[in-house]
C-alpha cells in the first residue's frame, strides 16, 4: 500500500501570519511529500508493503533507522496539520477538566508548551499527551514520534527550523506563541482524548 500526501484540512493561507502559505508550500508540499516518497520506496516489495503506517513505525524502530525516520515523520506531519486550525476552538469539558488537573488552567498549559518548545534543543516535536488518564507535555527529538508509544498524543507542535524559519527566522518563541495562542485545534485534541486510542494515519 503506497501512502499519499494528505490534503491540508484548511486553505494554505488560513494559518497566516502564524504559518504562512509560503511555509506550507515547502513544509507540506515538499518536506512532508519527501518523507512519504522515501517511505514508499523503502517498503516497496517488502513485508511492510501492505502494512499500516503505525505498524511500519513500530516494526522499524530500532531496526531500520532510515525507514523509521521517514515513516515517523510522515505520521508526525499529518498529525501536526490537524493539530492546528484557523477556527476558534475550545477544549471539551473532559479535556478541560484534565488540563485544569494537570496544569491549573489552559493558559498555564499554553505557557508550558511554549516554554518546552523554546527550550527544546535542536529539532523535534513537543506534544500534549495522555497516559493513564493524566495529561503531560512530552518531547521527542528529531524524527521520533509518540505514534507507537504508551502515550495517546492529543496535539503536537513541530519545532524543526523549517516549520518557522520563512515566517519568523530564528525566533522560535515567536512562532510557538503564534501557533499555541491562536491556532491550536482543541477540538482535535478533545476527539483524541475521547477516543482513547492513538490517532490513525489515513
Distances (CA, A) of 59 to 43, 139, 202: 12, 21, 18
Asked whether residue 202 carries a pLDDT value surpassing 90, the answer given is: no
State mean pLDDT over 155-169.
97
Mean residue pLDDT across the chain: 97
pLDDT tier at 44 (50, 70, 90 boundaries)? Answer: very high
pLDDT of 119-146, one tens digit each? 999 999 999 999 999 999 999 999 999 9
* Confidence band, pLDDT 50/70/90 cuts, at residue 93: very high
Is a pLDDT exceeding 80 seen at residue 1? Answer: no
Averaged over 168-181, what is the pLDDT? Answer: 97
How far apart CA 82 and CA 116 sit, in angstroms, is 20
| pLDDT confidence of residue 160 | 97
Copy the grid coordinates of residue 92.
Answer: 471539551
Q: How far is CA 118 from CA 76, 149, 200, in A?
A: 19, 24, 28
Amino acid at each position: 500500500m503506497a501512502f499519499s500526501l494528505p490534503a491540508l484540512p484548511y486553505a494554505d493561507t488560513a494559518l497566516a501570519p502564524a504559518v504562512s502559505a509560503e511555509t506550507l508550500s515547502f513544509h507540506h508540499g515538499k518536506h512532508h511529500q519527501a518523507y512519504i516518497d522515501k517511505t514508499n520506496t523503502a517498503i516497496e516489495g517488502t513485508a511492510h508493503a501492505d502494512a499500516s503506517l503505525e505498524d511500519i513505525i513500530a516494526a522499524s524502530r530500532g531496526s531500520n533507522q532510515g525507514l523509521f525516520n521517514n515513516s515517523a515523520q510522515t505520521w508526525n506531519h499529518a498529525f501536526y496539520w490537524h493539530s492546528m486550525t484557523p477556527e476558534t476552538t475550545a477544549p471539551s469539558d473532559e479535556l478541560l477538566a484534565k488540563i485544569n488537573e494537570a496544569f491549573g488552567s489552559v493558559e498555564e498549559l499554553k505557557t508550558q508548551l511554549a516554554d518546552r518548545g523554546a527550550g527544546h534543543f535542536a529539532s523535534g516535536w513537543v506534544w500534549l499527551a495522555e497516559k493513564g488518564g493524566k495529561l503531560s507535555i512530552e518531547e521527542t527529538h528529531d524524527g521520533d514520534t509518540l505514534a507507537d508509544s504508551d502515550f495517546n498524543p492529543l496535539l503536537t507542535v513541530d519545532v524543526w527550523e523549517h516549520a518557522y524559519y520563512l515566517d519568523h527566522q530564528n525566533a522560535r518563541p515567536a512562532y510557538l506563541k503564534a501557533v499555541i495562542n491562536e491556532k491550536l485545534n482543541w477540538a482535535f485534541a478533545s476527539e483524541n482524548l475521547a477516543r482513547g486510542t492513538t490517532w490513525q494515519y489515513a
